[in-house]
Structure 1
Amino acid sequence: MKIKVDFDLCESNALCVAMAPDVFELDDDDYLQLLTEDTTPENIDAVQRAVAACPRTALSLED
């Protein structure tokens, strides 16, 4: 599955970073950066939690 971010909705509040730090990070200007678009068996659970926890529904998964 591919990870998608709607940067127009994203508030960069870092909930996703806390849940999946190997996939998401904040840059020096506090903007969300996606480190990879692909999920793996190792990160899928954390990514799904991050998608569900996003307060602005800026994150999604696509097949």
Structure 2
Amino acid sequence: MSIKVTVVVQKEENWYVAKCIENSVASQGKTIEESLVNLREALELYYEDTPHDTDTVPTFITTVEVAI
């Protein structure tokens, strides 16, 4: 079984930090790809003993422009 999650990747100094929106699990890596691989591993461990709900609610992501 697999699930889809929403992930944000941000550059912080010399690292890329990947964070799952649905549960706040995060990981990092020297590249975007490495941060995503590390996050995938962390999420697999996070969900390892969790009962799985087959009904998922879609997450919608957008951007908003704010005057400053």
Q: What range describes the TM-score normalised by the shorter chain of this pair? A: under 0.3
| TM-score, with structure 1 as normaliser | 0.28
| TM-score, with structure 2 as normaliser | 0.27
Radius of gyration: which is bigger? Answer: 2
